[in-house]
Amino acid sequence: MITTKNKLDVSTINDEQLMVSITNGNNRAFDELYKRYEKKMFYFFYRKLNNNQEKAEDFLHDLFMKLIEKPEYFNTSKSFSPWFYSVAHNMVKNEYKKMEVRKIMDSESDTLRIVASDKSPMISAEDQLFKKRLYEELGKLNADSSTAFLMKYHEGYSIEEIAQTLGIKEGTVKSKLFYAKQLLSEKLDMFNPKN
């Protein structure tokens, strides 16, 4: 029986508090966490798994099942989001190992955000070509570098959060991002407008 005390407005509490509630069996807390992360995590899996929608949906399901089955794995003194991404990242790495595939995807990050709909067809075609080439080059990076790039430039995570997620030092994250940006700059130089 749900009491008034259990009718906590889950939309107003942070992710870490939701995890505490989930550990205590609060289904509404799980629903709220799912609502907050479903699209982000689907997008993460979709991009990491070669734009395979079916596989991304399966991985999303498995990720949230881990929360249901073992919510106590989360250390509530840590930030939830980087931890959750690290679980997802490890799932993908395990999949790569299982498939013996190191070339991870054609499209890693949607750093180019085409917001304006009034672009000329020529500019839109150039944007699409740029995105295609960007995805191809990102697909050549190792798993940690591509995840760091995605988290930094698509999701807006800090260096510290990325380091926590990947289980590496902040300096290593900075190095991976620097290398990735340098490589992409060289490979995509043809798209750089000349002054």
pLDDT in tens, 80-126: 998 899 899 888 887 876 664 333 333 333 444 434 444 455 556 66
Q: Does 62 reside within a domain? A: yes
- The number of distinct structural domains making up the chain is 2
Do 109 and 65 lie in one domain? The reply is no
Do 57 and 75 lie in one domain? The reply is yes
Of 101, 128, 143, the residue at which a domain comes to its end is: 101
Q: Does 1 reside within a domain? A: no
Confidence label for 62 from pLDDT (cuts 50, 70 and 90) = very high
Do 109 and 97 lie in one domain? The reply is no
Q: Does 138 reside within a domain? A: yes
Q: Give me the domain span that covers residue 129.
A: 104-195
More confident residue, 105 or 54: 54
More confident residue, 29 or 77: 29
If you average pLDDT over residues 125-147, what whole number do you get? 74
Do 61 and 119 lie in one domain? The reply is no
Q: What angle do CA 50, 71, 73 make, to 5 degrees?
A: 85
pLDDT for the residue numbered 43: 92
Q: How far is 159 from 173, CA to CA, in rounded Å?
A: 7
Q: Does 178 reside within a domain? A: yes
Confidence label for 14 from pLDDT (cuts 50, 70 and 90) = very high
Q: What is the CATH number of the domain that holds 181?
A: 1.10.10.10
Q: How far is 141 from 65, CA to CA, in rounded Å?
A: 29
- 164-183 pLDDT tens trace: 888 889 888 888 888 888 78
